[in-house]
Amino acid sequence: MTEDLDPRTMGADGGVADGGDAGSAEPDGGGGAGEGDVPVASSEEARDILRSSHRVAIVGASNDPARPSHGVMQYLLDVGYDCVPINPREETILGRTAYPDLAAAVAAGGPFDVVDVFRRPNAAPDVAREAIDTGARTLWMQLGVISPEAARIASEAGLRVVMDHCMKIEHRAMRAAGD
């Protein structure tokens, strides 16, 4: 595992915390259907999403370099994505204005292609509802963020859903494959 999320130590802001269990269900192994037959993207579909996306909300972004959300956001910025941190406790992260919620970020700069979730799974359904309300195209739940409920909510509203995959890992794999 890289510096990306360890589901056993994910904090409420999406970063590493002391203790706590981030996962509540097993991922489907990338076969395209989540728990209860909720359609979630395979790794190849996730890479298609990466190819067609530019503006990314990082929900649970952190200024702490030890947090997975910080490293993923830095990587995505470095490879050209327009990342917007969502964290009500921060003013700026990695030189970018942080917003308290998706609605405020969308009001300032328009809708997101991807809402990348670095929050505990029990917070993901509310993030899914906010992603829908703000016109996002994809709900991406990071490695260790497993919420069939959030996946169902987003999918039923027409959003593409990625669950238990890391944007950084998928992007690196895409690049390694020559995409």
Give the CATH number, domain containing residue 91.
3.40.50.720
Q: Based on the structure, what is the number of domains in the chain?
A: 1
For residue 126, the one-letter residue type is: D
Burial 74-110 (b: 16+ CB within 10 A, else e): ebbbeeebbbbbbbeebeebbebebbebbebbbeeee
Give the tokens for residue 25: 């269900």
Burial 19-30 (b: 16+ CB within 10 A, else e): eeebbebebbee
39 three-state secondary structure: strand
Give the pLDDT of residue 36.
Answer: 59
Q: Is residue 77 domain-resident?
A: yes
Give the tokens for residue 110: 């328009």
- Range(s) of the domain holding residue 95: 40-176
CA angle 40, 80, 169 (to 5 degrees): 40
Q: Is residue 3 domain-resident?
A: no
For 9-32, write each residue's pLDDT tens digit.
Answer: 333 333 333 222 333 333 333 444
Q: CB count, 10 Å around CB of 175?
A: 12
Q: Are 114 and 86 in contact (CB under 8 A)?
A: no
Handedness of CA 35, 115, 5, 16 (dihedral sign): negative
Please name every residue paired with 16 in a beta bridge, in sequence order, or none if there are none. 10
Q: Is residue 127 domain-resident?
A: yes
Q: Is residue 90 domain-resident?
A: yes
CA dihedral 172, 173, 178, 179 (to 10 degrees): -80
Give the pLDDT of residue 166.
Answer: 95
Those residues of the chain that have pLDDT short of 70 are: 1-36
For residue 26, the one-letter residue type is: E
Q: Is residue 111 domain-resident?
A: yes
Give the pLDDT of residue 118.
Answer: 97
Q: Is residue 20 domain-resident?
A: no
Give the pLDDT of residue 129.
Answer: 98
